[in-house]
Amino acid sequence: MNYFLEIFLGGLTRGSIYALIALGYTMVYGIIELINFAHGEIYMIGAFTALIVASVLTLLGFNTLSVFILALVLAVIYSCCYAFTMEKIAYKPLRQAPRLSALISAIGMSLFLQNYVLLAQTSDFLPFPRLIPDFDFMEPYAHIITTQEAVILITTAIFMTILTIFIKFTRMGKAMRATSQDKVMAALTGIDVNRVISFTFIVGAAAAAVGGVLIASHIGMINFYIGFIAGIKAFVAAVLGGIGSIPGAVLGSFVLGWTESFCTGYVSSDYEDVFAFLFLVLILIFRPAGILGRSESNKV
């Protein structure tokens, strides 16, 4: 039973990280129908920023908790700046262009950022410090869930709750929902659509950066390529749940996390990707729009 619980919570942790990244995919898709392939790179840049900040602050003698918080905050801010700039440079000029152009631009942006980090840093894996200390009171439960995992779960839960409240009740949240449903009409009700789009990129980047810092600290090493792998997985999760839908992305991420984790736990870790993608294909056969996706049908 403990083994099952351990695997279950492990899958939940994985799912949380996927969910934090998948949010950016699904929100951006919901608003401008673009698969932002460079989104994984934002996550990677978040992790690198945290690494640099943490290294400097540790040298300066800050304590662990303040290093963690400052690294997280700065990683979020830095990633948001990247996402904001990226949208302005690579996507905004292509707003009226065919959708394929923006997609190619996204792939280009992804390769550019990967190689930029490769040249600016190194191609080797870099050790990432453990930013989250092991708390003593977690000791008795360590065989089921580590402090790292618990922090990941709690941070994700807090982030999701704030986001849900934000989208449901605030002015900007309503503007985002309206824009995702009908861009022209949103503009005709007085919404500054470009601002909503920028904002969406920023929220997505913030979530991805949080995910990047948490997972890097959990796994303990990073390189320029982590964004690509995590990005693809999160993208799969978003599609699985129904791209464009926020609850869908979260659900899809947990389903993917559990699939991988149970496969690793009961079959073999060699097969985790096989099962994950098999599951994706199966779900898409029976629900082409994803688990919570809605098929487009407009009333005339």
Which residues make up the interface to other proteins (CB under 8 A)?
171, 174-175, 177-178, 181-182, 184-194, 298-300
> For other proteins, which is the closer residue by CB, 17 or 176?
176
From 60, 88, 56, 89, select the one nearest 74 (Cα to Cα): 56
> For other proteins, which is the closer residue by CB, 129 or 247?
247
Smallest gap from residue 191 Cβ to other proteins (A):
6
Smallest gap from residue 299 Cβ to other proteins (A):
6
Tell me the two tokens of residue 14: 């994985």
Helix or strand run (H / E) with residue 221: strand 221-222
> For other proteins, which is the closer residue by CB, 94 or 256?
94
Helix or strand run (H / E) with residue 126: strand 126-127
> For other proteins, which is the closer residue by CB, 2 or 96?
96
Angle at CA of residue 203, ends 183 and 165, nearest 5°: 85
The one-letter amino acid at 180: S
Smallest gap from residue 136 Cβ to other proteins (A):
48
Smallest gap from residue 247 Cβ to other proteins (A):
13
Q: CA 49 to CA 70: how far, in whole Å? A: 11
Output the CA torsion sign for 254, 35, 104, 210: negative
- Residue 210 CA neighbour count, 13 Å, CB half: 25
Smallest gap from residue 185 Cβ to other proteins (A):
4
Smallest gap from residue 175 Cβ to other proteins (A):
7
> For other proteins, which is the closer residue by CB, 270 or 299?
299
Q: Backbone phi, then psi, for 98, in 5-degree steps?
A: -55, 150
Query: Do 288 and 245 meet the contact criterion of CB atoms below 8 Å apart?
Result: no
> For other proteins, which is the closer residue by CB, 189 or 268?
189
Query: Do 235 and 208 meet the contact criterion of CB atoms below 8 Å apart?
Result: no
